[in-house]
């Protein structure tokens, strides 16, 4: 696998774990300092 793919997969897994931990895209977004929409987009890409 390429490094770029590995980096993207790591980002997706980080978002997934955060959303699962908080059970909230809003709280996850606050933790990761992004918008809830960004979390939603990442989750859709999974």
Residue-by-residue pLDDT tens, the chain, 46 positions: 577 778 888 999 999 999 999 999 999 999 999 999 999 999 998 8
Domain, as residue range, for 9: 3-45
Residue 39 corresponds to which tokens in the numbers above?
Answer: 């979390």
Strands of the chain, DSSP E: none
End-to-end CA distance of the chain: 17
pTM for the whole structure: 0.79
Number of domains in the chain: 1
Identify the pLDDT of residue 5.
Answer: 74
């Amino acid at each position: 696998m390429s490094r770029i793919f590995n980096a993207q997969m790591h980002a997706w897994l980080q978002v997934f774990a955060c959303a699962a931990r908080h059970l909230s895209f809003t709280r996850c977004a606050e933790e990761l300092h992004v918008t809830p929409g960004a979390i939603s987009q990442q989750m859709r890409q999974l």
